[in-house]
Amino acid sequence: MNIGIVGLGLIGGSLGLELRGLGHHVLGLSRQKQTCEVAQEHGIVNQASIEPSILRMCNLVFLCPPVGQIVSVAQQIEPYLNTQAILTDVGSVKGAICQTLTKLWPRFVGGHPMAGTAQSGILAAEPDLFRHRPYVLTPIPETDPQALALVSQIVDSLGAKRYICSPAAHDRAVAWISHLPVIVSAALIRAGGQETDPELAQLAQSLASTGFRDTSRVGGGNPELGRMMAEFNQDELLFCLKIYQQELNALIEKISIGDWPGLENYLAMTKQLREHYSLD
Amino acid sequence: MNIGIVGLGLIGGSLGLELRGLGHHVLGLSRQKQTCEVAQEHGIVNQASIEPSILRMCNLVFLCPPVGQIVSVAQQIEPYLNTQAILTDVGSVKGAICQTLTKLWPRFVGGHPMAGTAQSGILAAEPDLFRHRPYVLTPIPETDPQALALVSQIVDSLGAKRYICSPAAHDRAVAWISHLPVIVSAALIRAGGQETDPELAQLAQSLASTGFRDTSRVGGGNPELGRMMAEFNQDELLFCLKIYQQELNALIEKISIGDWPGLENYLAMTKQLREHYSLD
């Protein structure tokens, strides 16, 4: 199959590598001439170009720009798509994108491969990035069933764990497990930064260990990604944050009044709840 | 030197192993006869007993029971100590312990080895547990300088990174980097547990990945340890929680009003702040 990849970063590049390995003919589109050259040299695509006409022969096109640019990039490439082509994206928030792009292109299927590394950019591309990782597809009632079937088949061929749900369910789920943790963790780092005694702040920094390291990791991540996830998933994130705030207040209350058995019960329940998650 | 270890769990056992390796004669005291047998069989101590009289010949005694029992155990063994003996503890909160035990035993020095594993109990004991890990000593004005010098020397011989500060500074620092993260992380787990749509809750559990895993890790830990750290460090933990609450509210405000540049700035600052911490 001829497969187009629009946006050759970590996700686009890794898709290219894996799909080429599966025998597809992969055509890349990037804004940067240099990225096209790197993608060709590293065998990430069969051919790459800065001209959207490269997509004309594609049966399937993956939209892989940053989430904030997916709709505008789709509008730019739409005139160049083969009328039978199936379009899919890799955006980390799905509500608005699925509504808008299904209207723009009836053979659109929303998708979100939940894979990544600490790296970004074409040179970070890895085959196997999607293997055993969740890949969520988010059809809406208007979605073309044939398009969904084809994208499903490709996702399965990547070795990913495929999930199918509504865009709204996806956006709530990722707010809980991905976007809320970023905010919770950022507030932790910034709270410690409010310590006014410099010697004490330095002592805390020296004593910090795995507990602080892990709890603060996602709050110390890419600020632009953090901003985008909040901007594009604002309502679901605020919903989760309100509930988080209530839980935090309940804990502060228990600690304030010295309800130690109540606190221990609470922590016993969190220990148990956490075991329900699929954590490697 | 004859060194006594009171309480043969992970920390006491690991101290025993390491100190024996350094050529000391190690005498263990445990409430459990079986623990004494295991400690002897595994070469963790030279000799162990359930009788506190085993401590009579010790020059230095480590108090290693759970933090909530350190004062009462110290009172129980005090009549059996050699008058010249130096006493130290390994409790994770220092304020009250240092005041009380310095009155009980003038040659007391408060200590906190910041080392551990996910395991507990004598069978989890490891030599090298303290190597390159922080070990905080918390003298007060009344502390005997000779006692501090000797405990310092022993801590250095374990290969630990020794820090010396007041009990209050220690307790504030560990509230920031160890106790606050537990509460922040527990509230995250419990908030997700409030999702009322069972299919959605299951989807979130399936999609959870490294971000959720790391941010939720310490909140899903030992409930009894979590309770003790809050109970014994209540004031400092509440101080940190109030500041955390303000930071969380500031973030919710930015997201509510859609102040995306403000959010990105905030996250850029957390990224930078996190780099000040000594994280492996």
CA distances to A8, A22, A115, B222 from A4, rounded to whole Å, are 11, 14, 20, 50
Closest to A29 (Cα-Cα) out of A9, A43, A14: A9
- What lies within 8 Å, CB to CB, of B277 at 6+ separation is A205, A208, A212, A213, A216, B177
Place of tokens 């228990």: A254
Give the closest of B231, B256, B271 to A221, CB-based. B271
CB atoms A252 and B267 under 8 Å: no
**Predicted pLDDT of residue A30:** 97
The predicted model gives B81-100 an average pLDDT of 96
pLDDT at residue A75, rounded to an integer: 98
- Kindly provide the b/e burial profile for residues A101-119, where b requires at least 16 CB atoms within 10 angstroms of the residue's own CB: bbeebebbbbbbbbbbeee
pLDDT in tens, B33-78: 999 999 999 999 999 999 999 999 999 999 999 999 999 999 999 9
Query: A183 and B270: CB-CB below 8 Å?
Result: no
* Complex-level ipTM: 0.92
Nearest to B169 among A174, A203, A234 (CB): A203
The encoded tokens of residue B20 equal 């024996």
Which are the contacts of B225, defined by CB distance < 8 A and separation ≥ 6? none
Note whether A139 and A89 are within 8 A (CB). no
Helix axes A223-232, A234-257, angle to 10 degrees: 100
What are the structure tokens assigned to A263, written together?
């606190």
Q: Quickly list DSSP for A122-159.
A: GGG--TTTTTTSEEEE---TTS-HHHHHHHHHHHHHTT
Please report the pLDDT score of residue A67 as a whole number: 92
A95–chain B nearest CA distance, Å: 15
Which two three-digit tokens encode residue A53?
Answer: 């006409």
State the residue for tokens 């990547």.
Answer: A158
User: Which residues, in sequence order, are CB contacts of B79 under 8 Å at separation 6+?
Assistant: B52
Work out the minimum CA distance from B261 to partner chain A, whole angstroms: 8
Find all residues with CB under 8 Å of A244, minimum gap 6, and list them. A180, A184, B187, B188, B191, B248
| CB neighbourhood size of A242 (10 A) | 12
- Minimum distance, in Å, between the CA of residue A124 and any CA atom of chain B: 18
pLDDT single digits (tens) B179-224: 999 999 999 999 999 999 999 999 999 999 999 999 999 999 999 9
CA distance A274 to B202: 12
For residue A210, count CB atoms less than 10 angstroms from its CB and return exposed for 0-12, middle for 13-18, buried for 19 or more: middle
pLDDT in tens, B219-262: 999 999 999 999 999 999 999 999 999 999 999 999 999 999 99
Tokens standing for residue B130: 């303290």
Which tokens hold the place of B280? 């492996």
A68: its two tokens: 């904030």
Q: How many Cβ contacts (< 8 angstroms) between chains A and B?
A: 328
In a mutational test of the A interface, the residue from B94, B176, B202 whose CB has the highest number of chain A CBs within 10 Å is B176
Question: Cα dist. B172→A199, A203, A223, B136, B145 in Å?
Answer: 11, 10, 28, 13, 24
Chain B residues lying within 8 Å of A248, measured CB to CB: 183-184, 187, 241, 244-245, 248
Q: Are A2 and A25 in contact (CB under 8 A)?
A: yes
Tell me if residue B108 falls in helix, strand or coil. strand
Determine the Cα–Cα distance for residues A274 and B192; give it in Å rounded to an integer: 10
Give the residue from A128, A123, A130 showing the smallest Cα distance to A32.
Answer: A123
pLDDT of the residue at B279: 74
Give the one of A212, A220, A273 whose C-beta lies nearest to B181's C-beta: A212
Q: What is the pLDDT of residue B31?
A: 96
Strands B111-113 and B134-137, sheet pairing: antiparallel
How confident is the model at residue A279, as a pLDDT? 74
* Amino acid symbol at B98: C
Instruction: Name the residue facing A218 among B178, B211, B268 (closest C-beta).
Output: B211
Nearest to B238 among A214, A255, A267 (CB): A255
pTM of the model: 0.92
The backbone region for A51, taken as left when phi is positive above 0, alpha when psi lies in -120 to 50, beta otherwise, is: beta
Q: Closest Cα to residue A17, out of A37, A36, A45?
A: A45
Residue with tokens 């350190």: B70
Report the pLDDT value the prediction gives residue A119, as an integer from 0 to 100: 80
Query: Nearest 5°: CA angle at B188, between B182 and B193?
Result: 125
Compute and round to an integer the Cα radius of gyration of chain B: 22
Place of tokens 């005997």: B144
Q: Which amino acid is at A269?
A: M
Strands of chain B (E only): list them.
2-6, 25-29, 47-49, 60-63, 86-89, 108-109, 111-113, 134-137, 161-164
Instruction: Kindly list the residues from chain B whose CB atom is less than 8 angstroms away from the CB atom of residue A172.
Output: 195, 200, 204
- Distant-in-sequence, close-in-space partners of B109: CB < 8 Å, separation ≥ 6: B86, B87, B88, B137, B139, B143, B144, B147, B148, B151
Nearest 5°: phi and psi at B58?
Answer: -80, 140
Chain B residues with beta carbon closer than 8 angstroms to that of A242: 252
- Name residues of chain A where pLDDT drops below 50: none
Task: State whether A252 and B273 contact (CB < 8 Å).
Answer: no
CA atoms within 13 A on the CB side of A243: 20
Task: Name chain B contacts of A208, Cβ cutoff 8 Å.
Answer: 177, 277-279
